[in-house]
Amino acid sequence: MNMTRQKILIVGGGSGMGLALARHCVEAGAGVTIAGRGNDRLRQAREVLGNPTGLETAVVDVTREDQVAALFAGIGRLDHIVSTAADIEGAYRLLPELDLSAAQRVVDSKLFGPLLLAKHGAPRLAAAGSMTFVSGIAAYRPAARGSVVAAVNAALEGLVRALAVELAPIRVNAVSPGWVDTEIWAQVAGDRKAETLAAMAERLPVGRIGQPEDIADAICFLIGNGFTTGTTLHVEGGHRLI
């Protein structure tokens, strides 16, 4: 897809799915701003992407409304906003072990963060623009230790549908990934990451685990398709079928 003259903000663009999306958009000719909480990670991402001239970085904590407002005040006009950001550290716990503060961080990053991005970002978007957020398979295939993430993913998809109505004609969508090989799995499975992902790959109809590029491709579809809004696009290798 040709993204020449498009301006795209990717929150969470310093790693994983967001970084894969940033690479795709830069290569397609877009002007891209990747945003995240850590300046070191953003600097590393810029280096990984080859320091392209069309790439900017911005430090922001999307759970802080003052920082989100300041981000958009300085960024100017946009065509698309994407957020892949999620803080799930400590959230995958059985209920007796669950720390409420960890649960709150998931809610803040995956629900209130997108809400703040929509509140302050919508006035900066072109009428033909879009917002895309990332939910996840846990909303459909919840497991023990995953109650908080399942609940927040489901809530985010509800938010997406409501925003698509309220912010029209701006399009608002979600991508729901399945198991994707990203850094998050080090938090979820620890030393058993490779074993855990390999076992799921054997169960999935596609015979493999997802890669960040798979999700980036799906987000690019939603960015480019002007007739899709209020939709959750499932990119999960058939996980909902097993």
Q: Tell me how far apart the terminal alpha carbons of the chain are, to the nearest angstrom.
A: 33
Distance CA 45, CA 43 (A): 5
- Per the annotation, the verdict on 135 as an active-site residue is yes
pLDDT at 126 over 90: yes
- CA distances 38 to 33, 43, 81, Å, are 14, 9, 19
Which is catalytic among the residues 15, 130, 135, 147? 135
Which tens digits make up the pLDDT trace of 26-51?
999 999 999 999 999 999 999 999 99
Domains and their CATH numbers in the chain: 7-241 (3.40.50.720)
Report residue 2's pLDDT band, with 50, 70 and 90 as the boundaries. Answer: confident
* DSSP state, residue 49: T
pLDDT at 176: 98
pLDDT digits (tens, 9 = 90+) for 186-211: 777 778 899 999 999 999 999 999 99
- Cα–Cα distance for residue pair 105/92, rounded to 1 Å: 12
- Annotate 207-232 with b (16+ C-beta within 10 A) or e (fewer): eebbebebbbbbbbbbbeeeeebbbb
What's the pTM value of the predicted model, to 2 decimals?
A: 0.95
